Amino acid sequence: MSARILDGKAVALTVTQEVAAKVASRVAGGRAPPGLAVVQVGENPASQVYVRNKRRTTEAVGMRSFAHDFPASLAEAELLATIDRLNANPDVHGILVQLPLPKHVDPQKVVERIDPAKDVDGFHPYNVGRLVLKSPTLRPCTPYGCMRLLAETGEPLAGKHAVVIGQSNIVGRPMAMELLMARCTVTICHSATRDLPGIVRQGDVVVAGVGRANFVQGDWIRDGAIVIDVGINRTDEGKLVGDVDFAAAKERASWITPVPGGVGPMTIAMLLANTLRAAELADG
């Protein structure tokens, strides 16, 4: 079997167009455009690319973009004071602080300072808790995007065995909660998991969020499995690859996401969907 490709670029475009249409009808109805503040501290080159893309796409869908760029030396107290001001600003519906932050800033403190109603990354304990309790409000963008891609397959998820590799707060854990909410039977694997290949072979759905190039081998993939590759890794030759050995896995899977062009573009699309949702929530 050769897998069908889950084209994240195309699905992200559809989501973005849906958001743009809803923003336009909001504005035509006399309501304020959703506003997204993206806060960047320091000059991490990868973060600068992400932030630039987020701001550009925000404006492209008719939302207002608020840019707050600070040097790496910014004191934690000043960053928290900026978040307080954004929390109080009614034109700002979503706040995103780009991670990673410089070492002297506690990211948990920063995430918890954001008003949960404006936490469009979905990282605040309130939003994570809502997801755990099966009534999500603002959902972590990357797992949310993965769920949108899974919906594209048209395959019912209920009863499927989903194997998630990775248990980070931004990928693995919320992904497992999303899949559980979709009534999958979920196994979460991490670096202490025994017989990882044996467990992955049981997966009807496999989600890899490890951060190691081509780590998941083709012969770990069960025939007909759906494979979602969250990993973004650069090889020594400078090529962008996922966590899954794509060429080999494609021969066994029924559906698979490519890297690049799979999960990556979905993350920004779901960020915009969350910002629209935050604006709608603020409407009351």
Active site residues: 54, 98, 121
Q: Is the peptide bond before 260 cis (omega within 30 degrees of 0)?
A: yes
In the block, which residue shows the tokens 């081509």? 214
Catalog residues that contact ligand NAP under the rule CB under 6 A. Answer: 142, 165-168, 170-172, 189-193, 196, 209-211, 230-233, 263-264, 267
Q: Which is nearer to ligand NAP, 185 or 233 (by Cβ)?
A: 233
Q: Which is nearer to ligand NAP, 8 or 35 (by Cβ)?
A: 8
Token digits for 53?
């893309």
User: In the complex, what is the shortest distance from the CB of residue 83 to ligand NAP, in angstroms, rounded to a whole number?
Assistant: 22
Sheet holding 4-5, edge to edge: 4-5, 255-256, 226-229, 205-208, 161-165, 185-189
User: In the complex, what is the shortest distance from the CB of residue 31 to ligand NAP, in angstroms, rounded to a whole number?
Assistant: 30
Q: How far apart are CA 158 and CA 138, in angstroms?
A: 23
**CA nearest neighbour of 37 among 66, 78, 70, 61:** 66
Q: Which is nearer to ligand NAP, 110 or 263 (by Cβ)?
A: 263
Q: Which is nearer to ligand NAP, 168 or 217 (by Cβ)?
A: 168
B/e letters for 243-265, b = 16+ CB within 10 Å, e = fewer, are bbbbebbbebbbbbbbbebbbbb
User: In the complex, what is the shortest distance from the CB of residue 247 to ligand NAP, in angstroms, rounded to a whole number?
Assistant: 18
User: In the complex, what is the shortest distance from the CB of residue 119 to ligand NAP, in angstroms, rounded to a whole number?
Assistant: 16
User: In the complex, what is the shortest distance from the CB of residue 192 to ligand NAP, in angstroms, rounded to a whole number?
Assistant: 6
DSSP code of residue 284: -
As a whole number of Å, the CA-based R_g of the chain is 19
Q: How far apart are CA 78 and CA 88, in angstroms?
A: 15
Q: How far apart are CA 178 and CA 209, in angstroms?
A: 14
Q: Which is nearer to ligand NAP, 57 or 267 (by Cβ)?
A: 267
CB-closest chain residue to ligand NAP: 168
